[in-house]
């Protein structure tokens, strides 16, 4: 896979993961903010009881209740009664109660003598009990107990408590806020999206690995075949691989899509497939070829196209095998096709093929210098070669990229 494409794909993945992390952080921060806001937001909780005769078991879950138990009863010297009570507040809710108070009516002419573990003040008709500094908060599912002594005069009935109202403040539960559920929904949606993305990423990586394996198998298969072709001529050993490397780089420099780059690469490997049918004596002849021998050489284009006609897994193989010796001015072979009528893949491979021929030693001549090759490419631009492709090849030669590609290709061949 192209390095630039891999880098871009990796960058896209990193950006998406960063976005997922940032969104998750924002959702969590939102939940923390909602919880903090809820803890600072108070609501009044008020419970009315007809009396204080209620056990904790009788108090409903989520309810605030108070129970009074008489601990000691005494008759006083004025024929009245004095009663010591233990009063317990049950916080059966799931959140703490603070700033509480109990407002209750005292029956049978009673009055408050003493309160232990709480403060109080008396109005005309009732007593209001309030917390001290150390018991202002009643934790959730907890209790608070304090003592109170009531007495009356000239009354043989025990002074007690009538209608009682418990009042307090409680922080709001985050689950009672719309923002909380919106954030929970967002977190749920994020979880689905994140899980789907990472699942698709894992699947994509498996596909990429499988594709890399398939490409490797495909290359090895095609390379094995091209090595048979190149082995027929010791002077052209590695020629097909070098042409494929040059053609692939030309396609990249031209900005062609990845699929075209891949197809051109494989087409370059197979462009001389038809040479398998040319006799070795003709391929390796050191002198000038006669007309019949030249016709045999030229037949490798049509023979290659015929051999590859049913191979459709890679686009362009047959066309490159047939047209890579066509000239831009229409004076090539085997069909005399000219200009843009020559398939693009074949025009690219034609330039790469000619460069490798000029930069390699052949049985009939030594390789040309860089200057000679550049001059020949530019001289034949518009006649033999597509004038839009030649500049890319010339630039590759001048920058040394062509030499580097040759070394890489030769390492593959070795």
- Residue 104 and residue 123: Cα distance in Å, rounded? 10
* CA 111 and chain centroid, separation: 73
What pTM was computed for the model? 0.57
- Residue 93 and residue 139: Cα distance in Å, rounded? 9
Sequence-ordered list of residues with C-beta below 8 angstroms from that of 144, at least 6 positions apart, any chain: 88, 89, 91, 131, 135, 138
The top-scoring range by mean pLDDT among 120-129, 131-140, 175-184, 317-326 is 317-326
Confidence of residue 202 (pLDDT cuts 50, 70, 90): confident
pLDDT for residue 123: 85
- Pick 226 or 375 by higher pLDDT: 375
Task: State the CB neighbour count (10 A cutoff) for residue 11.
Answer: 10
pLDDT for residue 1: 46
pLDDT for residue 60: 62
pLDDT for residue 361: 76
Two tokens, residue 410: 């030769």
Mean pLDDT of the chain: 87
Q: Hey, is 152 helix, strand or coil?
A: coil
Residue 244 has pLDDT above 60, yes or no: yes
In tens, the pLDDT along 21-71 reads 999 999 999 999 998 888 788 888 888 888 777 665 666 666 788 888 888
Two tokens, residue 315: 């686009």
pLDDT for residue 93: 83
Confidence of residue 204 (pLDDT cuts 50, 70, 90): confident
Q: Hey, is 413 helix, strand or coil?
A: helix
The answer to whether 73 and 108 have CB atoms below 8 angstroms apart is no
- Residue 223 and residue 221: Cα distance in Å, rounded? 5
Confidence of residue 335 (pLDDT cuts 50, 70, 90): very high
Q: Hey, is 75 helix, strand or coil?
A: strand
Task: State the CB neighbour count (10 A cutoff) for residue 352.
Answer: 28
What share of residues in the chain are helix, strand, coil (percent, to 5)?
50, 20, 30
Two tokens, residue 82: 């004095």
Confidence of residue 374 (pLDDT cuts 50, 70, 90): very high
The answer to whether 68 and 52 have CB atoms below 8 angstroms apart is yes
In tens, the pLDDT along 71-87 reads 888 886 567 888 999 99
Residue 399 has pLDDT above 90, yes or no: yes
**N-terminal to C-terminal alpha carbon distance within the chain:** 22
pLDDT for residue 61: 64
Sequence-ordered list of residues with C-beta below 8 angstroms from that of 332, at least 6 positions apart, any chain: 325, 326, 384
Question: Could you give the angle at which helices 239-253 and 344-358 cross, rounded to 10 degrees?
Answer: 130
pLDDT for residue 78: 62
pLDDT for residue 340: 95
Residue 324 has pLDDT above 90, yes or no: yes
pLDDT for residue 37: 87
């Amino acid at each position: 896979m192209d390095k630039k494409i891999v880098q871009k794909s990796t960058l896209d993945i990193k950006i998406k993961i960063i976005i997922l992390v940032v969104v998750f952080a924002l959702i969590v921060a939102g939940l923390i903010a909602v919880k903090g806001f809820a803890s600072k937001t108070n609501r009044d909780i008020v419970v009315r009881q007809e009396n204080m005769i209620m056990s904790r078991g009788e108090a409903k879950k989520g309810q605030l209740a108070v129970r009074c138990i008489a601990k000691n009863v005494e008759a006083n010297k004025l024929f009245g009664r004095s009663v010591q009570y233990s009063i317990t507040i049950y916080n059966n809710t799931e959140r703490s109660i603070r700033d509480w108070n109990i407002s209750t009516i005292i029956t049978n002419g009673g009055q408050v003598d003493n309160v232990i573990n709480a403060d109080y003040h008396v109005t005309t008709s009732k007593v209001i009990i309030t917390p001290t500094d150390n018991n202002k908060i009643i934790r959730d599912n907890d209790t608070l107990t304090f003592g109170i002594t009531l007495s009356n005069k000239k009354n043989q009935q025990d002074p007690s408590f009538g209608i009682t109202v418990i009042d307090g403040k409680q922080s709001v539960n985050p689950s009672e806020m719309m923002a909380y559920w919106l954030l929970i929904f967002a977190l749920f949606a994020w979880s689905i999206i994140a899980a789907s993305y990472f699942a698709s990423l894992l699947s994509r990586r498996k596909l990429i690995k499988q594709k890399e394996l398939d490409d490797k198998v495909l290359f090895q298969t095609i390379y094995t075949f091209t090595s048979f072709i190149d082995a027929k001529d010791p002077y052209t050993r590695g020629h097909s691989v070098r042409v494929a490397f040059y053609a692939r780089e030309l396609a990249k420099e031209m900005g062609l899509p990845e699929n075209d780059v891949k197809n051109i690469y494989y087409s370059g490997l197979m462009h001389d497939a038809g040479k398998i049918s040319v006799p070795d004596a003709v391929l390796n002849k050191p002198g000038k070829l006669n007309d019949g021998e030249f016709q045999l050489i030229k037949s490798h284009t049509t023979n290659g196209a015929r051999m590859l006609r049913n191979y459709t897994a890679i686009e362009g193989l047959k066309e490159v095998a047939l047209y890579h010796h066509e000239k831009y001015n229409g004076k090539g072979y085997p069909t005399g096709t000219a200009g843009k009528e020559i398939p693009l893949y074949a025009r690219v491979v034609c330039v790469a093929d000619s460069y490798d021929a000029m930069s390699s030693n052949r049985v009939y001549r030594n390789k040309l210098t860089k200057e000679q090759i550049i001059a020949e490419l530019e001289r034949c631009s518009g006649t033999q070669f597509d004038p839009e492709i030649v500049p890319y090849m010339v630039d590759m030669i001048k920058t040394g990229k062509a030499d580097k590609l040759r070394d890489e290709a030769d390492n593959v061949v070795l």
